[in-house]
């Protein structure tokens, strides 16, 4: 049984009431799913739902939208470190605190880790 691989092109239009203009956006997705519009739409929406939840968690816990790092690769590097920290905080089961609370607790700790 072979794996179907395809490229999906999705065009979306958005009308902006404030400007009165219609904006058209084209996105491309690579998929191994068979061409079925409903299934592909659900898969793409699920993917963006996960991305949006991650962005929300990073913004709330780390204030990522307030960061103004623009020189060189600073923004990308800081974002990568924030994602690593978020994953580590999510794995910590030693307390029932939320991500923000766990981050504060870690920052207040005077305990050093062994080298």
Residue in 74, 106, 76 with CA at minimum distance from that of residue 88: 106
- Amino acid 2: pLDDT: 47
Query: What ranges make up the beta strands (E) of the chain?
Result: 6-16, 21-31
Counting Cβ atoms within 10 Å, is residue 2 exposed (0-12), middle (13-18) or buried (19+)? exposed
Model pTM score: 0.49
What digits encode the pLDDT tens for the residues 3-60?
Answer: 556 787 878 888 888 889 999 989 888 888 777 778 887 888 887 777 777 888 888 7
- Backbone torsions φ then ψ of 23, nearest 5 degrees: -110, 130
């Amino acid at each position: 049984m072979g794996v179907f691989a395809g490229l999906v092109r999705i065009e979306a239009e958005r009308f902006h009431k404030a400007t009165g203009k219609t904006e058209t956006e084209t996105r491309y997705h690579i998929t191994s799913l068979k061409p079925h519009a409903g299934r592909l739409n659900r898969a793409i929406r699920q993917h963006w739902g996960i991305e949006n939840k991650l962005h929300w968690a990073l913004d709330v816990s780390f204030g990522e939208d307030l960061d103004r790092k623009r020189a060189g690769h600073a923004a990308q590097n800081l974002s990568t470190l924030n994602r690593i920290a978020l994953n580590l905080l999510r794995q910590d089961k030693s307390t029932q605190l939320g991500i923000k609370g766990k981050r504060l607790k870690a920052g207040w700790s005077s305990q050093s880790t062994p080298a």
